[in-house]
Amino acid sequence: MSTLTLKNVTLKFGGLVAVNDLTVQIGAGSITSMIGPNGAGKTSVFNMITGFYKPTAGQILLDGQNLVGKKPSQITRLGLARTFQNLRLFPNLTVLDNVKAGMHSRTKQAVWGALWHTRAQRQEERLIEQTALDCLRFVGMEQDCARIAKNLPYGAQRYLEIARALATQPKLLLLDEPAAGLNYEEKEALIGLIRSIRDTYGLTVLIIEHDMGLIKKISDHVVVLDYGQKIAEGVPEAVLNNPRVVEAYLGKEEAV
């Protein structure tokens, strides 16, 4: 289990401040949710953590190691994986090949090994396939391994992206709106899956989500952003009843 720490993190795009002096501690083994209205800066935070954006200021530490300035592939190798709000699958590949692609950062054999089909390369390929099958079995999709990804129902595509993230063998998993587009039954199943991921794999989980019912049920800790600033954090019930949080979502009531 890993800890993630953001220290005084700021992100600016020209004159626009997307994230402002954010300090957050994500505890090892926790399921933490990051919430806030649209445009609050949540996805920008994820993009900084995973190396897609470089903070203007501040530090992002995974188990004490600064991630700032590292490439996304380097951060993945350090044990951090994510899913995306908008699915990023390989639509024309099979389910199994999509998950195998997630292990690319963990492969050790050089190009010549693949060209000459060496013993080490064959062993690694068997390991990759077995790991991919294990991840698909864990999310309940082993029977779909030969299907083309684009032909899956939307909810199954969400699970496939989670399986691919697990194949990178992460210590910390970032889920960007994993419940988007799911119905009530699918969301309930997702809650069970995320808890099982944390408990079985020993992962720390950080979630961006808009479904408040899901947030209440799954979160150990909640962080709230508004206009790029942290306005509240704590246990779900206290945070979701915080007047500043209610105002951020619903607006300030006008005096009559």
- pLDDT of 121 higher than 60: yes
Distance CA 181, CA 244 (A): 28
User: Tell me: the pLDDT tens digits for 1-51?
Assistant: 689 999 999 999 988 999 999 999 999 999 999 999 988 999 999 999 999
- pLDDT of 119 higher than 90: no
Write down the H helix ranges in 78-226.
95-101, 111-116, 119-138, 154-167, 184-201, 212-218
Q: What is the enclosing helix (H) or strand (E) of 66? A: strand 65-66
Are the beta carbons of 232 and 58 closer than 8 angstroms? no
Structure-token pair, residue 187: 């969301």
User: Tell me: the pLDDT tens digits for 83-96?
Assistant: 987 788 999 999 99
What's the pTM? 0.87
Q: Which residues contact residue 231 at a Cβ distance below 8 angstroms, ignoring those fewer than 6 apart?
A: 224, 225, 242, 244, 245, 248
Distance CA 107, CA 190 (A): 29
Type of residue at 161: E
Query: Which structural domains are found in the chain, ordered by start?
Result: 1-79+170-256 (3.40.50.300), 88-163 (no CATH)
User: Tell me: the pLDDT tens digits for 51-107?
Assistant: 999 999 999 999 999 999 999 989 999 999 999 877 889 999 999 999 998 876 555
Other CB atoms within 10 Å distance of the CB of residue 134:
14
Which pLDDT band, with edges at 50, 70 and 90, does 112 fall under? very low
Are the beta carbons of 10 and 225 closer than 8 angstroms? no
User: Tell me: the pLDDT tens digits for 214-249?
Assistant: 999 999 999 999 999 999 999 999 999 999 999 988
